Amino acid sequence: MVGEIKVENAVKVFPQQDAEDVTALNGVNLTINAGEFVSLIGPSGCGKSTLLRLIAGLDTATSGTLYLDSEPIREPSYERGLVFQDPTLFPWLSIRDNIAFGLKARGTYRQSEQEVGEFLGLVGLSDFAKAFPHQLSGGMAQRASLARALVNHPKVLLLDEPLGALDAFTRMNMQDELIRIWRERGTTMIMVTHDVDEAIYLSDRVIVMTPRPAKIERSIDVKLFRPRARNNPEFLSLRSKILEILDFAGKIEEPNYFL
């Protein structure tokens, strides 16, 4: 399994009937290496989730091309799993059946049935296989959503603020779960987040986007050893510099930072 994503000069314009068209992305160029954990950060409404939807194949670029392992992305595929902020589990199905849903839809459930149990174990929900979504906490439901995406063995897992609705304690625990799963599976992970600390804690690389119409302002390597301490001076220094870049993103043509 590989999982390299390339975005070449992606432009996305949303036509408006009674107003000026909205340009969400304006010439985005980005390469994400196979097995990387990358976070996209930027101002609200700048186009982070739009870029994620293009990679997922849920929407198409107005111009430009996106690739997964050199193959153009034209439509949704199980090779690109997507996890939203809300778990979006089917309330009438048990947790096991929720996780198995994609396999059944693809007609691969019979040969992959044992993997449903394996992924329940991977996310710590083996004892809740017969439970229903309303019986789970928010963090548990999000873990079920992760398992549902991962059971299809995607090359790339796309995470659209998956921890944004959780309380602070559960969120930190889920961050550690994401790192553990990423290390065990080796899946390329691309996450949209507004939380700079979260981006630094999780990522190999942080991509800073400008306000709409969005471009890539800066790609920042996070060279801190894992596990990472949020009170580490290097962590705090990097946090300060990323916040500074966010503040100036798109305001000057050639920013001059020391990162």
Q: Please give the model's pTM, rounded to 2 decimal places.
A: 0.91
Give the domain-ending residue among 153, 183, 204: 153
Looking at the fold, whether 73 and 162 belong to one and the same domain comes out as: yes
Number of domains in the chain: 2
Give residue-wise pLDDT tens across range 160-208.
Answer: 998 888 888 888 988 998 999 999 989 999 999 999 999 999 999 999 9
Residue 10 has pLDDT above 70, yes or no: yes
Q: Which residue has the tokens 């804690």?
A: 201
Looking at the fold, whether 10 and 74 belong to one and the same domain comes out as: yes
Give the domain-ending residue among 112, 133, 153: 153
Looking at the fold, whether 243 and 208 belong to one and the same domain comes out as: yes
Looking at the fold, whether 183 and 246 belong to one and the same domain comes out as: yes
Share of the chain above pLDDT 90, in %: 69
Looking at the fold, whether 148 and 216 belong to one and the same domain comes out as: no
Give the domain-ending residue among 121, 153, 185: 153
Give residue-wise pLDDT tens across range 72-122.
Answer: 999 999 999 999 888 889 999 999 999 999 888 888 887 778 889 989 998
Separation in Å, CA 171 to CA 101, 139, 155, 163, 259: 26, 8, 25, 6, 28
Looking at the fold, whether 141 and 191 belong to one and the same domain comes out as: no
Q: What is the mean pLDDT of residues 235-243?
A: 94
Domain holding 74, by residue range, is 1-79+158-259
The predicted pLDDT at position 251 comes to 62
CB atoms within 10 A of CB 197: 16
Looking at the fold, whether 50 and 147 belong to one and the same domain comes out as: no
CATH number of the domain bearing residue 245:
3.40.50.300
CB 161 within 8 A of CB 87: no
Looking at the fold, whether 250 and 190 belong to one and the same domain comes out as: yes
